[in-house]
A and B are shown apart, each in its own frame.
Chain A
Amino acid sequence: MNVPADLRYAKTHEWIRVEGDTVTVGITDHAQAELTDIVYAEPPKVGAEVKAGATAAVVESVKAASDIYSPLSGTVTESNADLSGNPALLNTDPFGQGWIYKMKASSPTEVEALLTPEAYTAQIS
């Protein structure tokens, strides 16, 4: 399983990438493999307030709907519009084109509570 070294991870299998004051959120390679064929994604709307640990998005495989929890609290600044036409991006490129939303964090220190790549790798192995 791919666990990029430059990201932080939630126990619930989301990742974040911090670039300046923008945080990008997606699901991990492990998560997409568990979910299998993703056929639908419902990212949060721009401007939505998200809370660390609370549901921010939903992705669905043929078999089941799964909640995606926001790793951090803050405001959604961008939502990945490509997912509506091509939800399979979540399977094929979970750390790249399959990102779900971007946000501005309101409590940046919440990052400290997230897992390092090493800790996340240990969790899924």
Chain B
Amino acid sequence: MSDPATLKHTPLESAHVACGARMVEFGGWFMPVQYSGIMEEHKAVRSASGMFDISHMGEVLVEGAGALAWLESLLTNRVGKLGLTRGQYTLMLDDKGGVIDDLILYRTGEMSYFLVINGACRDLDLEWMRSRLPSDGSVVLKDQGDAYAAIALQGPDSEKVLRSLYPACEVPKRNGIAPLTESTGPVPSPVPSLVARTGYTGEDGFELFVPVAEGITLWESLLAAGVKPCGLGSRDTLRLEMGYPLNGSDLSRERTPLEAGLDRFTGIDDSEKGDFSGRKALESQRSAGLPARLTPLKLTVSGPPLRSHYPVISGDAVIGETCSGALSPSLGEGIAMAYLPPSFSAPGTAVEIEVRGRRYAATITTLPFYKKA
């Protein structure tokens, strides 16, 4: 638990309290973990719509003639393949190939980009980025983390809700970004509010970025439109059902994206991607062979909810430990992710997971855990 004096607060805190949120410390932020209940919130997002305060996440603008080349050297995915208004999942690695952060990069203009980074490592990310800026001034980096209130609107009804609140808004396609406007006519520059069709739940949905002063109003409009307030608890079960990694649990400086199975978000197989931070380490790891792979597991018997740091066992040997786990609300089964030796990555391989001294039968499975009917 961090020092209460340094705990950071989002612009939506009073709205959470008004909605009956249970607030907890998460990554240095005071955040809602749940309102009506994790199961109910989870199901609302799978069947209708829910909203999450994601104001703790950081927003960074990168602009200038050198922006593309600099981002190519900083991030794993190939930035050059992004068309205007398009976004991509990407990673920022250290020289050893360890994950500093995973993030979404959007191209908002010919030479301008919008990055959304994780809340718990905003300062570290910015320090890493600033220390690598070219000295010629060709890249301008602006930390906008405290300028935006951000809300993720997620679930199959999201588009309907967005259109009802913003009839004039040009709704972006999947992974795209657009100005969030309430009226037709010219969009001011820089754009005060943005909407991206991205999320962390596996459902259709949007991430809305508005000036801090407009955050509460947006939250209340969504609430009035019938969107269910959802906390970090359901955000975690929703993302885990999809097998989306969580930095700090499934990703860390000790693991590379290859071990995490995120090869397709790195440019190492893309002939047009040049050098980037961590590339050499990834290449040598690939030729030497991976020490472990992030492997999806599920219990084959009924048992307690899976959580992080439970031993994974084969025969009498501990072969790894879970890094994320849950009782999947959609499936009613225990699901988990663990870094295991590659010889255990074949789906159907039988292992056991130990909880409080008892072993429960489990099997290696495939992602996503949850597939829409």
Contacts and interface: CB of A to CB of B under 8 A. Distances in A.
Interface of A: 36-37, 39-40, 42, 58, 60-63, 65, 84
Nearest to A85: B302
Prevailing SS type, chain B contact patch: mixed
Contacts, number: 39
Interface of B: 22, 33-34, 37-40, 233, 237, 302-305, 307, 326-327, 329, 356
A60 B305 contact: yes
A65 B37 contact: no
B327 A36 contact: no
A63 B326 CA distance: 8
Contacts of A58: 304, 356
A120 to B, nearest CB: 22
A36 B304 contact: no
Contacts of B22: 36
B237 A62 contact: yes
A40 B37 contact: no
27 contacts: A36-B37, A36-B38, A37-B37, A37-B38, A37-B40, A39-B39, A39-B327, A40-B304, A40-B305, A40-B327, A42-B304, A58-B304, A60-B304, A60-B305, A60-B327, A62-B38, A62-B39, A62-B233, A62-B237, A62-B305, A62-B326, A62-B327, A62-B329, A63-B233, A65-B304, A65-B305, A65-B307
Contacts of B303: 40
B39 A37 contact: yes
B34 A36 contact: yes
A62 B240 CA distance: 13
Closest 7 CB pairs of A and B: A62-B38, A40-B304, A37-B39, A37-B37, A63-B233, A39-B327, A60-B305
